Amino acid sequence: MIKGIYTVARSLEQHTKNIDAIANNLANINTTGYKREVPFSEYIDEFGNSQIKKITSQIQGETVLTSNPLDLAIYGNGFFAVKDENGNIELTRDGRFKLSTDGFLADANGKKVLGKNGFINMDETMLQKDSNIEINNLGEIKIGNELIDTLLILQVDSPEDLKRSSGSSFVIQDDNYTEANEIDYKISQGYLEQSNTNPILEMESMIQINKGYETSQKVIAALDQSLDMANQIGKI
């Protein structure tokens, strides 16, 4: 019976962690490129070990028009690739790009965006007259008629290995990604992908967690009462 109390206490703990995930989804309801975290659940695998099933929903978020030439959205599968100062590659769906002070295409945090030929430098072509930055569906960046580079779009085979980092980015261990197939994605210039947090699903999960927590609490109260009765048995 005491064991029961500990088991239920664990479930309280798990509910608490799940409400953290929901709170984060809701806080990021307006974050560009954010992907919602589905509350985790426990299951027993074929070897009898308990495992945690956690999923980051990679469902397409809504895209909104911004008309900014360096705002990019991906339709379909794939991630933009950016490299931080330490040379680590991060994957992101957040296409709010800008030009860094030295003329490279960079994300909102100043991490440089990767093209198929490395970093994308626009410094020299920036001063040309009569030219706009044009980025087509395949991610080919053109200034005037000159092709600068093509955006590198990456795909991962096992999305469950993606680890979140801040700024709507993901990192993956052992560079476990491949270059995406051109038919799997479409780049839209002047659009941004919104967060895919769905307030209805979040509210539903929140109610479920809240009620689950309440149930566990009631179970503890019931067990506590029974233990109390057990204590009474010895009394004369």
- Residues 206-235 interacting with another protein (rule: CB under 8 A): 206, 209-210, 213-214, 217, 220-221, 224
CA 176 to chain centre: 17
Query: Closest CB to another protein among 19 and 83?
Result: 19
The interface with another protein within residues 145-184 (CB under 8 A) comprises 163-168
Tell me how far, at minimum, the Cβ of 183 lies from another protein, in Å. 30
* Binder of another protein out of 75, 84, 108, 119 (CB under 8 A): 108
Q: Round to whole Å and give the CA distance between 82 and 73.
A: 15
* Binder of another protein out of 71, 90, 149, 193 (CB under 8 A): 71
Q: Of 10-18, 80-88, 134-142, 179-187, which segment contacts another protein by CB under 8 A?
A: 10-18
Q: Give 64-67's long-range contacts (Cβ < 8 A, gap of 24+).
A: 64/191, 64/192, 64/194, 65/190, 65/191, 66/190, 66/191, 66/192, 67/190
Query: Closest CB to another protein among 5 and 77?
Result: 5
Map tokens 């990604």 to a residue: 177
∠25-78-167 over CA atoms, to 5°?
A: 40
Q: In sequence order, which residues have a C-beta less than 8 Å from that of residue 147 and are 6 or more positions away?
A: 140, 141
The interface with another protein within residues 121-140 (CB under 8 A) comprises 122, 126-133
Tell me how far, at minimum, the Cβ of 61 lies from another protein, in Å. 13
- The residue count for binding another protein (CB under 8 A) is 76
Q: Round to whole Å and give the CA distance between 183 and 236.
A: 81
199 binds another protein (CB under 8 A): yes
85 binds another protein (CB under 8 A): no
Q: Round to whole Å and give the CA distance between 195 and 205.
A: 18
Helix (H, G, I), strand (E, B) or coil at 123: coil
Query: Is the separation of the CB atoms in 55 and 166 below 8 Å?
Result: no
* Binder of another protein out of 73, 93, 96, 180 (CB under 8 A): 96
Q: Round to whole Å and give the CA distance between 135 and 193.
A: 16
Tell me how far, at minimum, the Cβ of 232 lies from another protein, in Å. 15
Instruction: Give the type of residue at 213.
Output: Y
Q: Of 49-57, 82-90, 151-159, 176-184, which segment contacts another protein by CB under 8 A?
A: 49-57
* Binder of another protein out of 63, 66, 155, 198 (CB under 8 A): 66
Instruction: Compute how many other C-beta atoms are within 10 angstroms of the C-beta atom of residue 145.
Output: 7
Query: Closest CB to another protein among 70 and 73?
Result: 70
